[in-house]
Amino acid sequence: MKRFQILSNLSMCLLVALLLSTCSDEDSTVRTLTLNFKAQIDGELVEFEARKYQSPAHQSVSFDRLKVYISNIELVDVEAGEVFTEVDSYHLLSFDADTDSAFFEIRNIPQTFNVDEIRFGVGVDEEANASIDHVGDLDPTNSMAWDWNTGYKFLLLEGRYYPSGDDLGEEIKMHIGTNANYANNLIGFQESISVEENPTHTLYVNALVPFGTIDLSEGTVFMNDERGNEVARNYMDGFISTF
Amino acid sequence: MKLRLSTYFVFALLIWSCSDDTKINTPTPYQFIPPVHFGDNYEIPENNSFTVEGIDLGRNLFYEKQLSRNSQISCGSCHQQAKGFTDGAKFSEGLDGELTSRSSMSVVNLLWNSKFFWDGRVGTLEEQALQPIVDHIEMDLSLDEAVKRLSDSENYRQQFFAAFETDVITSDLIAKALGQFMRTLVSSDSRYDQYLLGQTELTDQEKLGMDLFFTHPEPKTGLRGGNCGDCHLNILTSGDREGFQGFHNNGIDSDANLEVGLMEITGKAEDRGKFKAPSLRNIALSAPYMHDGRLATLEDVLDHYNDNIQNSSTLDVLITDATNNSIKGEHIQLGLTDGEKEAIIAFLHTLTDDKFINDEAFSDPFKP
């Protein structure tokens, strides 16, 4: 009898423990979409610090690093007419010789959601750009911050430009920010992505797009002036894509 | 029966809770709270987390003159708290009076750094900590002898035991203790910090200096800038911590006189003449300036960047490009007015942190 009582008490304890642990499980009706990003040129991963490429203006360039903020992600289920908005949606994608891909997770998406489109901003919206809060990947002490008051670089692209006969080359610095250069982008998928199985989807950052038809012999620094704005106009179209 | 089970349970709980409290000689975790506005872009090595005893030991070792061959100098000789942990000399002086080839670097906010020494030759503070001890000009003590001297001291054996739960002293543990102490040297209470946190106001001149400091000039749009923040980034005013991005050729020499600098480490021709952009915290206390201490005053520094840039093949393009002048001349000129230079210097003075340079926790424990 005593043994039965002990076992019975132990069973009760186990049951309570089991119930408690079940309660702490996350909501089973939501899913996670992982977005993976790769920096590419002509369908191949960018070889940072290692390879020279031809810019659209047929000038020889190489890449040291590429960073870009994307923000305010919205997933669109066209058929259901629903939009999923990510909270605190600020993501810094960083690529360099040691890092050829970047990824982040978008959590708490309803499990029945089918992603037909992704809307997002390249850069940081005006409100967050004026804030000192650490939200998402925003950090006023990282290398993307201009300073305490004036927000973030939206795009940082650094590398070298090699004029004919110059093996050492010149530094390229594209540091693009300012609210006017915040760009809304949309990517549509040919086939809906069901989030049911917590999928991972890859997008591509096209490293030559910011160059457009810019002539680097006229200067290799692009910041808060018309040449910087030209880079911004270039990255507003086709910078991030599905292929 | 229920009572008996409960009794067992309580007894077990008591034993369990006692077993934690009765551990003795376990190093006490140090609750490091980073300044709220410094961000979390730092790493504390997993194998050398902060402990109260480790930091205390590191402080003692930092000021321990036995770690030099003739027991005449310590780390603190060239890194003096009152001078923002520099020594005020053009070149640091070693134990026999011989000069090194570098000006002493400020030891401040190193937690947010990832490369150390002017040429970035090491990537951790633990590696950094031992090099001056064995350097023949600086402290000239072999690590074996350093270990022996400390092991001969009952006091240090006890301190190492308290910090690392062993009284077998090794050079690795010396480095770890020094690393822990140096990571606590955080300067975050300057007037600039207080301004950022809304605790004080800067003068109009200081604010102008701050704006100029952080702005790359764009003469086409009338945006005037001092161009400092391109290398001395944001709140920390130190170089980019990623890879070697925080190293620059800042135009102090032409190609003919360019030192090897970072190229010594990377082997890349484009890194010739590049040196670490240091933190400017307490910069008004840490003259002279540049890696070789060639500029005596902040006025000299502003004059250098404004008028005396030497062009070279690896000069930073953000310097080459920067001018406030509407017409770019043949020579690189920033084009600041005297008033603008004075404003930037006024801002640099707001980076002085009196609390930091007087904090007893960072001071020489051997001073009476």
Q: How many CB atoms lie within 10 A of CB A78?
A: 14
Whether A190 has a pLDDT exceeding 90, the answer reads no
Amino acid at A147: D
Q: Which of B29, B38, B32, B194 is nearest to B109 (CA)?
A: B38
How close, in Å, is residue B34 to chain A by CA atoms?
Answer: 13
Query: In 3-state terms, what secondary structure has residue A89?
Result: coil
3-state helix, strand, coil in chain B (%, to 5): 40, 5, 55
Four-residue CA torsion sign, B331, B337, B340, B346: positive
Inter-chain touch B2–A146, beta carbons under 8 Å: no
Which residue of chain A is at minimal alpha-carbon distance from B239? A143
pLDDT of residue A5: 55
> Is B270–A146 a contact, with Cβ atoms under 8 angstroms apart?
no
Query: Closest approach of chain B CAs to the CA of A213, in angstroms?
Result: 21
Q: What is the pLDDT of residue A10?
A: 55
Cα A99 to Cα A22, A49, A171, B275, distances in angstroms: 38, 12, 21, 24
B291 Cβ neighbours under 8 A, 6+ residues apart: B102, B103, B118, B275, B276
A133 inside 8 A of chain B by CB:
no
Alpha helices, DSSP H, located in chain B? 2-21, 52-62, 75-78, 125-134, 143-151, 154-164, 171-183, 191-196, 204-213, 263-266, 298-307, 317-320, 338-349, 354-358
Per-residue pLDDT tens digits for A119-146: 999 999 998 988 877 788 988 778 888 7
User: How confident is the model at residue B10, as a pLDDT?
Assistant: 45
pLDDT digits (tens, 9 = 90+) for A70-128: 999 999 999 999 999 999 999 999 999 999 899 999 999 999 999 999 999 999 999 89
- A9 falls in which pLDDT band (50, 70, 90)? low
Q: Which of A7, A64, A143, A174 has the highest number of chain B CBs within 10 A, making it the mutation to test binding with B?
A: A143
CA of A194 vs chain B CAs: smallest distance (Å): 35
- Name chain B contacts of A145, Cβ cutoff 8 Å: 233-235
Q: What is the DSSP letter of B103?
A: P
Quote ipTM for the complex.
0.79
Alpha carbon A166 to its chain centroid, in Å, reads 34
Partner-chain contact B37 A141, CB within 8 Å: yes
CB contact under 8 A, A219 and B321: yes
Q: By three-state DSSP, how is residue A132 classified?
A: coil
Supply the mean pLDDT for chain A: 88
DSSP helix/strand/coil, A145? strand
HSE (side-chain half, CA atoms, 13 Å) at B186? 17
Asked if A142 and B39 come within 8 Å (Cβ–Cβ), the reply is: yes
Point out which residues pair with A186 in neighbouring strands: A119
pLDDT, position A97: 93
Instruction: Check if A7 contacts B (Cβ < 8 Å).
Output: no
Name the residue among A150, A173, A225 with its Cβ closest to that of B218: A225
Nearest to B39 among A2, A140, A175 (CB): A140
Q: Which pLDDT belongs to residue A16?
A: 56
Question: What per-residue confidence (pLDDT) applies to A26?
Answer: 61
Q: Residues of chain A with pLDDT > 70: what percent?
A: 88
C-alpha to C-alpha distances, B86 to A61, A102, B250, B363, nearest whole angstrom: 41, 40, 21, 14
**What is the pLDDT, as a whole number, of residue A27?**
73
Interchain proximity A146–B236, CB inside 8 Å:
no
pLDDT band at A58 (very low <50, low <70, confident <90, very high): very high
CB proximity A91 to B under 8 Å: no
Whether pLDDT at A1 is above 50: no
Q: Which of B39, B229, B321 lies nearest to residue A139, judging by beta carbons?
A: B39
Taking only the tens place, the pLDDT of each residue in A138-182 is 887 788 887 656 689 999 999 999 999 899 999 999 999 888 899
Cβ of residue B220 closer than 8 Å to a chain A Cβ: yes
pLDDT in tens, chain B (368 residues): 444 544 455 444 444 544 444 456 699 999 999 998 888 889 899 999 999 999 999 999 999 999 999 999 999 999 999 999 999 999 999 999 999 999 999 999 999 999 999 999 999 999 999 999 999 999 999 999 999 999 999 999 999 999 999 989 999 999 999 999 999 999 999 999 999 999 999 999 999 999 999 999 989 889 999 999 999 998 999 999 889 999 999 999 999 999 999 999 999 999 999 999 999 999 999 999 999 999 999 999 999 999 999 999 999 999 998 999 988 878 899 999 999 999 999 999 999 999 999 999 999 999 98
Residue B292 has what pLDDT?
Answer: 97
Indicate yes or no: pTM above 0.80: yes
pLDDT value, residue A42: 93
pLDDT at A213: 95
Tokens at residue A31, please?
């899913």
